[in-house]
Amino acid sequence: MNLAFLALCILWLALIAYAVLGGADFGAGIWDLFAVGARRRYQRQLINQAIGPVWEANHVWLIFLIVGLFTVFPSAFASLSIALFIPLTIALLGIVLRGAAFIFRTYELDASSRSAEVWSRIFSTTSLITPFFLGASAAAVASGQLAASNGTATTDLGAVWFSPFAITIGLMAVALCATLAAVYLTEEANSYNEPDLANVYRTRALIAGAITAVLGALGLLQSPFAAPQLWNGMVTRVLPLVVVIITMLIGLTTAVLLYRRRYGLARVVIILEVAFLLGSWGLSQYPYLIPPRVTIANSANDPSMILALLISIAIGMAILLPSLYYLFSIFKLPYPVPGKTAESEALPSETSGQGPGV
């Protein structure tokens, strides 16, 4: 039980990592859709530059989450796979098309060609669709209405994952991804000495953040009847309630920081915001994995397996985290590390559609 809880906490951290890293990649794709006007190619270049080196690594958090879930909670994983077959399949198609379209457009020889344009459209559309269905799936789990009365999972045809509550949360996930990406892109544009571009994304981050907050409030208002168990878990216990309130305060702080153009700090705070948001979901739902029946205790795998996994995670992380730090220090952080050469200050030329390392 304690081992399973520990493993769940690690999985939850992986979920947060996927949300703040992979979520921002989705968001960048969403902004790609809005890249219009004379500076469109320039905006796209910034997006390519920002997510190119890291998107594959960011994406692996999802894989980690899946294999972790099915190793620690095999029966819960099986139930979710059956119940959420449709939204997860759609999200999967989105993930696949998005990754492929991104790489195809990056390596298209002529960035202005028609096929590059088509790939860009696919990339941005799927970036919009995927977080929606992932968010709706999460809402379906939280609503506590997935499991059939006899306990065996059946495929939900939309009554749960396409309910008003799930739609609200799905849209909120989209808005949150857009906010994340916009906040990162302000800082990214700033690092290339592009204050105008940073301003564009600052405005967008504020708008998307406001939409996220409104949708979040709508979701919260629906919770008492759409996700009663979650609601009760939240309002009757101190810790979840405190975390929810902190989440709201952090959201406001992000807006203030953006408004005052403290982009670097805003980037840190928006990450905290996502962590607290997902944390409040987890705490409110505790000890249920899939309310109202599947708990941590009744779906946890054999302790020997969980222990083996935890040990491997410890060893794996000892290699992984320094590597990840190295990756981000080379491309995203201003600090010197061994092997790093002087930074290139300007965005690559607008006409280069050949991708990196030509």
Partner 1 sequence: MSNLLAARAQMGTSLAFHIIFSALGVGLPLLLCIAEGLALKYKDPNWMLLTRRWAKAAAILFAIGAVSGTILSFELGLLWPTYTKFAGAVVGLPFALEGFAFFIEAIFLGLYLYGWDRLSPRAHWLCSFPIWISGLASAWFIVSANSWMNTPAGFIIKNGKVTNINPLQAMFNPATPYETIHMMLSCYVATGFAVAAVYAFSMLRGKRTDYHWKALRLAMAVGAIAIPLQIISGDANARFLATAQPYKLAAMEGVFHTASGVPLSIGGWADPNSGKVYYAIEIPYGLSILAKGDPHATIKGLDAYPREDWPIVEATHLSFDGMVGAGFFALLIGLLFWFFAWRKKRAWQEHRWMLIGILLAGPLSFLAIELGWMVTEFGRQPWVIVGFLRTANAVTTAPSLNISFSVFSLVYILLAFALVRLLLRLARSPFPPIKLPWSSTPYQAEIATGTATERAGIE
Interface of this chain with partner 1, residues 201 to 240, rule: CB under 8 A: none
CB of 202 to partner 1, least distance (A): 26
Residues that bind partner 1 (rule: CB under 8 A) add up to a total of 73
Q: Tell me if 341 contacts partner 1 by CB under 8 A.
A: yes
Q: Which residues contact 56 (CB under 8 A, 6 or more apart)?
A: 99
Give, to the nearest 10 degrees, the angle between helix 23-33 and helix 85-107. Answer: 70
Helix (H) or strand (E) holding 255: helix 238-259
Which positions from 55 through 114 interact with partner 1, judged by CB under 8 A? 56-57, 59-60, 62-64, 66-68, 70-72, 74-75, 77-82, 85-86, 88-89, 92-93, 95-97, 99-100, 102-104, 107-109
Residue tagged 């009365």 (tokens)? 149
75 vs 229, beta carbon nearer partner 1? 75
Half-sphere exposure of 342 (CA within 13 A, CB side): 3
Nearer to partner 1, 119 or 276 (CB): 119
Locus of tokens 């195809």? 104
What is the footprint of partner 1 within residues 114-173 (CB under 8 A)?
A: 119, 153-155
Binding to partner 1 by CB under 8 A, coded x per residue (else -) over 33-52, reads: -------------------x
Interface stretch with partner 1, choices 130-138, 228-236, 264-272, 314-322 (CB under 8 A): 314-322
Asked if residue 338 lies in contact with residue 326, where contact means CB atoms within 8 angstroms, the answer is no
336 binds partner 1 (CB under 8 A): no
Residues 322/14, Cβ–Cβ less than 8 Å: no
Q: Kindly state the smallest distance separating residue 211's Cβ from partner 1, in Å.
A: 29
Q: Could you say whether residue 309 binds partner 1 (CB under 8 A)?
A: yes
Bridge partners of residue 290, in order along the sequence? 294
Q: Is 355 in the site for partner 1 (CB under 8 A)?
A: yes
What interhelical angle do 263-285 and 114-143 show, nearest 10? 40
Segment interacting with partner 1 (CB under 8 A) among 20-28, 35-43, 223-231, 309-317:
309-317
User: Rule CB under 8 A: is residue 323 a binding residue for partner 1?
Assistant: yes
For residues 172 and 214, is the Cβ–Cβ distance under 8 A? no
CB of 199 to partner 1, least distance (A): 26
Among 41, 293, 305, 350, binds partner 1 (CB under 8 A): 305
- Report how far Cα 97 is from the mean position of its chain's Cα atoms: 17
357 binds partner 1 (CB under 8 A): yes
- Tell whether residue 12 is a contact of partner 1 (CB under 8 A): no
- Nearer to partner 1 by Cβ, of 91 and 205: the residue is 91
CA distance 303 to 216: 37
Three-state secondary structure along 188-239?
A: HHHHCCCHHHHHHHHHHHHHHHHHHHHHHHHHHHHHHHHCHHHHHHHHCCHH
Yes or no: say if 245 and 172 are a contact pair by the CB < 8 Å rule: no
Please, what is the minimum distance in Å from the beta carbon of residue 271 to partner 1?
Answer: 19
| 333 in contact with partner 1 (CB under 8 A) | no
Cα separation, 81 vs 92, in Å, equals 12
Contact call for residues 23 and 131 (beta carbons, < 8 A): yes
Of the candidate residues 308, 314, 336, 351, the single one contacting partner 1 (CB under 8 A):
308
CB of 97 to partner 1, least distance (A): 7
Q: Which of residues 245-304 bind partner 1 (CB under 8 A)?
A: 301-302, 304
